[in-house]
Amino acid sequence: MSQIVTRFAPSPTGYLHIGGARTALFNWLFARGRGGKFLLRIEDTDRERSTPEATAAILQGLRWLGLDWDGEAVSQFDRRDRHAEVAHQMLERGAAYKCFSTQEEIAAFRDTANTSYAVFRSPWRDADPATYPDAPYVIRMKAPSSGQTVIHDQVQGDVTIQNDTLDDMIVLRSDGTPTYMLAVVVDDHDMGVTHVIRGDDHLNNAARQQMVYDAMGWAVPVWAHIPLIHGPDGKKLSKRHGATAVGDYQAQGYPAAGMRNYLTRLGWAHGDAELFTSDEAMTMFGLEGIGRSPARLDFKKLESTCGWHIARTPDAALLHEIEAYLAAAGQPQLTDPQRELLLRALYCVKDRAKTFPELIEKAQFTLISRPIVPEPAAAAALDPVSRGILKELTPRLPNVSWTKAALESILTEVAAAHGIGFGKLAAPLRAALAGRSATPSVYDMMLVIGQDETIARLQDAAG
C-alpha cells in the first residue's frame, strides 16, 4: 500500500466532543506511527448550523491535545463544485439517474409502504432520458436491487448488507448542492485517504458510500468503525456524566499529555500497557487493538493517568501548560515573581497533583504575598507558645547556610530545646509560611521562597 493517509472530518455545528477527540487521536496515532499523513477536513456543508465559532473551537481543541495535521484544513463546502461534477459523471456512467419525483409523490409512496424507512425506488430509475420533463430534479444513485454488499471492517469484522435494503439515495439536490453521502466519498478519494477510522454510528453509511466508490471505479479505503464512548453507567455519554467537550477538560486543568494517554486506552489495548508517552503510543497503536464494545469513561482513571504525566513533565514545560490552563479557565495570569517561584517549587508539588488546580493549590505558598492571613485551621497553630518559638527561631536564620541539611539541623535543635517533636513545630511553620495546615515540606517551602522571604514571613507570624 502507498503512504498511509487518515483524516478527521468534524462537523462545525458545536464543540469538539470527547468522542470526536478520541476519533481524531486514533487517526493521528495510526498515521504518525507509520510515517503517514493526518488530514483535517471541516464538513461545513450544513450552512444553517455550521458556525465559524464552532470551527475555531474544533481547531483549538485539536491544538491543545497536540494533534497536528498536515497541510491546511479543507472546507467541504468550498468543494461543492467538485462534488456536483462527480454526480454528473455518475449520471454519464449510468450509475445514477435524474429523478423528477415530487415530495408529495415520495410521501405517497411512504404512506403506501406504511413506513418512513421503506426503500425508495423512483419510477424514473429506468426512464428513457428522452422522456425527461423540463422540471427540477435530483440525481439519485442507482443502488443494486439484489445481492449483497460486504464491508470489510478492521474493527467490526465483515458486515454484510442486503442490497435490497439500500435505497436510491440522493447525491445531488435539485438546487445543485451535494449530499453528505456523496461529498464525504469524493473528498476522501481526492485527499488520498487510505483508512477511514470513525465512530461506528457511521457503519450504516459505509455500504451507501461504498456504492459511490464502486460507481466511480475508485479504490475503497480500509474501513475501521470504532465503538462510541459511554458514561460510567454504561449509557451513551452525555452532559449528565460530566464534561463532554474537550475545551471543558482543558479548563478543568487536565494536562494534554494525560488526556492523550487516557483517550488512547479508552477502547484500545496493547497488552498490559496503561501509562505511556505519545511516542510510545505511536509505536504500539494498531487497529487490531480496538475493541468492539463501547468504552466507559472512568474519571478516576483519567485523573490517575494525568497525575502520572504531570509528575514526569519537565518543569519548564509544565509551567507553560499551567499558564495556558489559567488562560483557558479565565483566571489571572502569573506575575513575574510568581512565575519564578512557581517554577522553583514544581519539583516538590507536582508528584501528587492529578490536575493543574490541585498543583496550584499545593503551590499556593509561592503565589501569596505578605501579610499572610492564615486559614482558621492553620491560625489555630499560631498560639502564644508557638509564636514565642518562632520569635526565638527567626534571629538564628540569617546566619544559617540555606540548605536542607542546615535547616533540618537548626529546626530540630529548636524543637528539642522546647521538648517537642518536629511535628509540633511544623504546624506553626506551615501557618506562617503558607497560611495553611496542608502544605509541601517545610524545608522545601523555605528553600523555594528563599532566606529573606522566609524570615519576613516568620517575623510577621511571630508578631
Strand order in the sheet with 170-172: 96-99, 138-141, 170-172
Angle at 354 between CA 352 and CA 357, to 5 degrees: 105
Q: How far is CA 60 from CA 40, 205, 245, in A?
A: 13, 28, 12
Residue pair 357/409 in contact by the 8 Å Cβ criterion:
no
Angle at 231 between CA 29 and CA 27, to 5 degrees: 15
Identify the CA nearest to 347 among candidates 373, 300, 313, 381. 313
- Among residues 239, 354, 391, 424, the one annotated as catalytic is 239
* Residue 362 annotated as catalytic: no
Residue pair 6/39 in contact by the 8 Å Cβ criterion:
yes
Identify the CA nearest to 40 among candidates 76, 63, 7, 11. 7
If one counts every other C-beta atom within 10 angstroms of the C-beta of residue 419, the result is: 7
3-state secondary structure of 198: strand
Cell 486506552 locates to: 265
List the catalytic residues: 239
